Structure 1
Amino acid sequence: MKILVVGPSWVGDMIMAQSLFMSLKLSFPDCLIDVLAPAWPLPLLDRIPEVSKAIVIPLNRGQFGLMTRIKLGRQLQAERYELAIILPNSWKSALIPFFANIPLRTGYRGECRWGLLNDIRRLEKNALTMTVQRFVALGLPKNAPQPPGYQEPSLPANKAGQEAVIQKFGLALTEKILALCPGAEYGPSKRWSPGYFAKVAEAKIQQGWQVWLLGAAKDKEAAVAINKATQHQCRDFIGHTSLTEAVDLMSLAHTVVANDSGLMHLAAALDKNVIAIYGSTPPELAPPLCKKGQTVFLNLPCAPCRQRVCPLYPVGHKDHTQCLAGIRPEQILELIGD
């Protein structure tokens, strides 16, 4: 059986989608799973053993590209997929499976996708409270019990990748390495203060830990602030690594402190000691899916607002939202332990 999964655009969601791939392999042990997604999360698929092939959507974020989608769909007709599972809820995400003539096309109702999908599911948010459950449910029959069970995502450490980053960056490994991930793609309402990250870094450096900063190029401002506050004692990898290199570096860490972000889910899939900080989003929706994961959330009356920018502050205000400012570095240090 050949299955095409239209994957999510977010790194964290792509990690959680592995639970769907695992579930499909349980239902159809001999199935081949190809994943269609934008270019930026695709490198992860090389590390996910359930995936047979990654197919790139050659469009930029937010680009509609109708003719590109139609052309790619027609090209994929030769693959003779039997089932398509469309994880995003957008109308455009269902176009390629439709033009690929895949006979069974499953997804949630989304943006009026009648016709594009022929197995339309109603998303019962009260039953499926977690993103991972929503993904897994799409790979099961409509009448399957909800919420479904799921396996936690798992990315095996890549020894060759580890050795490559050790050599490239000239690393001298110690027993205790703390990785700090100050970014969050969604917006500032999910980003803990760089000053607080710096206080955590200072305390652990004094205890003999190495502190690494990981993230995307757009997190550089936060990294500069953290390093300035710590007299440049942190090793700053932000903007200097590919996504797979960031995975390999994180696999060498002992503990990871991160916002609700893609790197947090990567750390969980690597089975690290993860401390996940939540502000505008509820931890119940997308917690770190590992036994070592811990979440910090103040549960204020105004939270979770799910807004990119705190609605209680004017746009561009220098202060962080109270849901994040109220989480003190001492709390995080206590969770990290010795």
Structure 2
Amino acid sequence: MRILIIAPSWIGDAIMSQTMHRLLVQQDPKIKIDIIASTWNQALFYRMPEIHKVLTLTHAKHGSFPIKKYYQYGKLLQKSQKYQQSIILPNSFKSALIPFFAGIPKRTGWRGEMRYGIINDMRILHPKNFPLMIERYAALAFKKENINNTLDLPHPLPLPYLHYNPQELHAISNKFNITDNTTKIRIGICPGAESNQAKRWPIHHYARLILKLINQGYQTILLGSYKEIKIGRSIKNSIPKNLQTYCHNLIGLTSLDEAILLIKKCHAIISNDSGLMHIACALHKPVVALYGPSDPNCTPPLYHHTKIIKIKTHNTYKQQTQHSYYNLDKYDPNLINIQPHTVLETLHKLL
């Protein structure tokens, strides 16, 4: 059987969707899974052995609707490939158009944006029946009549795992001057959150945490996308110059694939609820995950060696510091009130 997956755009969702890929292969070891992915997250799927072929489509900007482009791509697939099924993971209407135009007989997905007719194997999501995002993806790997809620899914579910080889790790160390012959523990810091400001722990908290880590003998590496360059600079500039050598700021300087390998080089990761957090879990790295407005009951870190910090608050810290030079209005109060010493203590429990 040959199947076409329309991948999620967000990195975290793309990682979590690997659970579904693994379930498909478990049911049919000879299955060939091709996937249409965004240019910015396609590197993930090359590290998933379940994927046969990665197809790329340059997605239009949010809000645009290049239906002609989808039609042409669908017809190209119809001529060149013979898919028996497509599974559409995003909920948008336009994400289901390529499989429809490609004439794929069975088009599976959650209802999303009222996609009647475009999706002909439609599932109606009742969130209480599938509270975890990976359960919602997993359910699509099975026939509709066999899966009504999470109790009908295999337990435990196969979790995401990204593959790599040792030579890649050696090469990435050389490229970014990562010293391996040291007794210092290397901590990866991921202060971004895929353009969602509310999910970010405050910059000055990260700076205070890194200073504590350096003073305790740790090395730190800042990782993130080019959109977060200012965050990395602000954090590093907040650290005394004589100690900045122990804070390796690589934000905006790596590809996604290089970031994957650099995360693997770390002994542990401290991260907001972000795509890099999910990558770290898929590489089996200890993770301290900082949650604000997002729900760890839906998208938790999918690795047993993790600690979640989530504090419900009434703006206490924000009120006490409203006259300081820190601009706290853009941060979620729940994240503001997570203190650096709490994160450090939590990290110590993982190491």
What is the TM-score with the length of structure 2 in the denominator?
0.89
SS at match of 2:17: helix
5 Å-filtered alignment, 1:1-338, equals 1-62=1-62, 63-77=64-78, 78-145=80-147, 146-147=149-150, 148-149=153-154, 150-173=157-180, 174-175=182-183, 176-231=185-240, 232=244, 233-300=246-313, 318=329, 320-337=331-348
2:314–2:333 CA contact under 8 A, matched in 1:
no
Give the corresponding residue for 1:306. Answer: none
Give the superposition deviation at 1:53: 0.6
Listed as ranges, the gaps of 5+ residues in structure 1 are 303-315
2:44–2:162 CA contact under 8 A, matched in 1:
no
Q: Within 1, Cα distance between the matches of 2:290 and 2:331?
A: 13
Letter in 1 for 2:194: E
1:184–1:190 CA contact under 8 A, matched in 2:
yes
Letter in 2 for 1:43: A
2:198–2:330 CA contact under 8 A, matched in 1:
no
Give the corresponding residue for 1:309. Answer: none
- Identity across aligned pairs (percent)? 37
Q: Deviations over 1:211-237 (max 9, x none)?
A: 000000111111112111222241000
Letter in 2 for 1:105: R
Q: Within 1, Cα distance between the matches of 2:132 and 2:61?
A: 25
Q: Deviations over 1:109-149 (max 9, x none)?
A: 11121111110000110011111111111111112342124
Give the superposition deviation at 1:273: 0.5
Give the superposition deviation at 1:319: 5.2
Give the direction of change, closer, same or farther, for the CA distance of 1:71–1:319 in structure 2 (3 Å limit). closer
Q: Within 2, Cα distance between the matches of 1:129 and 1:180?
A: 29
Give the superposition deviation at 1:301: 7.7
Letter in 2 for 1:335: T
Q: Within 1, Cα distance between the matches of 2:45 and 2:205?
A: 33
Listed as ranges, the gaps of 5+ residues in structure 2 are 316-326
Q: Within 2, Cα distance between the matches of 1:270 and 1:59?
A: 28
Q: Within 1, Cα distance between the matches of 2:204 and 2:9?
A: 30
Give the superposition deviation at 1:61: 3.6
SS at match of 2:265: coil
Give the superposition deviation at 1:157: 3.4
2:226–2:251 CA contact under 8 A, matched in 1:
yes
SS at match of 2:144: coil
Give the superposition deviation at 1:58: 2.4
1:59–1:65 CA contact under 8 A, matched in 2:
no
Q: Within 2, Cα distance between the matches of 1:114 and 1:155?
A: 35
Q: Within 2, Cα distance between the matches of 1:118 and 1:318?
A: 45
Q: Within 2, Cα distance between the matches of 1:162 and 1:124?
A: 42
What is the TM-score with the length of structure 1 in the denominator?
0.92
Give the superposition deviation at 1:300: 4.5
Q: Deviations over 1:277-313 (max 9, x none)?
A: 11111111111101112111113489xxxxxxxxxxx
Letter in 1 for 2:68: M
